[in-house]
Amino acid sequence: MLSALEILAVIGVVLLVPLLYRLWNFIWLYFLRPSTAHKYLHAAPTYALITGASDGIGKALAKELYDQGFNLILHGRNEQKIRKVVEEVRRNGARDVLYFLADASDVNHDFERMMAPYMNLNITLVVHNVGNQGFTKERIDGFSNADVAGIVNRNAIFPLHLTHTLLPRLRLSAKTGPVLVQFMGSLASEISPPRFAIYGASKSFLKALARGLDTDEQVWTPTGVHFEYLVTGQVQSNSMRLTASLGTPTSETYAKAIVARMGCGWRKYCPFWVHAVQLWFSEVMGEGMQDKYAAGAIPELIALHEKKA
Ligand SMILES: NC(=O)c1ccc[n+]([C@@H]2O[C@H](COP(=O)([O-])OP(=O)(O)OC[C@H]3O[C@@H](n4cnc5c(N)ncnc54)[C@H](OP(=O)(O)O)[C@@H]3O)[C@@H](O)[C@H]2O)c1
């Protein structure tokens, strides 16, 4: 018969083991694990396709992946802006940098035609980075139907159609090595803050899509195409005009974190360690505290961006 003290000790150990396991995973992922981005560089020339690459995280990621040895296919909506990025990137090497234009808020594109020039290229990495909502005090009924559709389209439906079109190409590329598709997620999908419900819901769509497609490509006949959902906290960028700090890395720092963690074996994770700590705290807080915190923080963010607009 165990004494009360022994029962408490057993309960303590049982509670401690998952925490220690999580701590070990944290240390391994962010501080010990070597980058394995090079495993997507097979059967050269190898291409990475990045959407929303004319600014912020997408632009920084384009530069980072080019430096790692990838050829690039960049997406933007403003030809002048994306051409400038192409020129900047090309200064660092002689590899290919291609681009295509599409307004992601509109999904009435002929995706097959849009991707046709790239279907013979060895694409091994796709980063669905395009997305945002914009800072406004409006509730959902303050948006027009077109605005609502635009938010959902550029955050969720555009990446869905692009993936649908690219998948046969990605399976071909996976015949010579692993292929990865990343969806840029947000902490907003974990806490769904006020005034960002449509954005948070669109990112949750990507989370479910990444999980479902990842298992789909592994069941019955594994194809070697993997999917990841990146939980992103605040990052200094064109749409997030904050001063960089420990919790708000620059887009360049964040791009390095994405490349360092890609293909780490987790399907949903934070590429940046401080965001992982923030996610853990928000889970411990529970919904009530999260909602209270967000209700205080979001008006400040909106006010700040209105001032900078
Ligand atoms: N920054 C953050 O704090 C943060 C936090 C969580 C998640 N994220 C996610 O990270 C991703 C990148 O965000 P970011 O902060 O780097 O934003 P950003 O600096 O504003 O860059 C967004 C990129 O997407 C493009 N884009 C926006 N709307 C588009 C449209 N309708 N059609 C085509 N292209 C469009 C922009 O093109 P233009 O250059 O023409 O504007 C730009 O290239 C997004 O998915 C965002 O939701 C960011």
Query: How much is the pLDDT for 246?
Result: 97
CA distance 1 to 179: 55
- pLDDT, mean of each 10-residue run, the chain (309 residues): 87 92 97 97 97 98 98 98 97 95 97 98 98 92 96 98 98 98 97 95 98 95 96 96 96 98 98 97 94 93 85
Q: Which amino acid is at 49?
A: L
Closest approach atom of ligand 1 to CA 234: 3
Distance 62 CA to ligand 1 centre (A): 13
Q: Which domains does the chain have, with CATH numbers?
A: 35-308 (3.40.50.720)
How far is CA 270 from each of CA 9, 26, 234, 254, 298, rounded to the nearest angstrom?
33, 10, 11, 10, 21
Would you call 128 exposed, middle or buried from its count of C-beta atoms within 10 A (0-12, 13-18, 19+)?
buried
- Which mutation among 79, 203, 237 tests ligand 1's pocket best, with the greatest number of atoms within 8 A of CB? 237
Half-sphere exposure of 233 (CA within 13 A, CB side): 22
Task: List the beta bridge partners of residue 46.
Answer: 122
Query: How much is the pLDDT for 307?
Result: 81
| Three-state secondary-structure class, residue 233 | coil
Query: How much is the pLDDT for 309?
Result: 73
- What residues line ligand 1, using a CB cutoff of 6 Å? 52-58, 76-78, 81, 103-105, 129-132, 154, 184, 186, 232, 234-235, 237-240, 251
How far is CA 89 from each of CA 25, 93, 100, 247, rounded to the nearest angstrom?
34, 8, 15, 27
pLDDT tens-place string over residues 91-103: 989 999 999 999 9
| Three-state secondary-structure class, residue 110 | coil
Give, for 269, the enclosing helix (H) or strand (E). Answer: strand 268-269
- Which mutation among 63, 64, 77, 128 tests ligand 1's pocket best, with the greatest number of atoms within 8 A of CB? 77
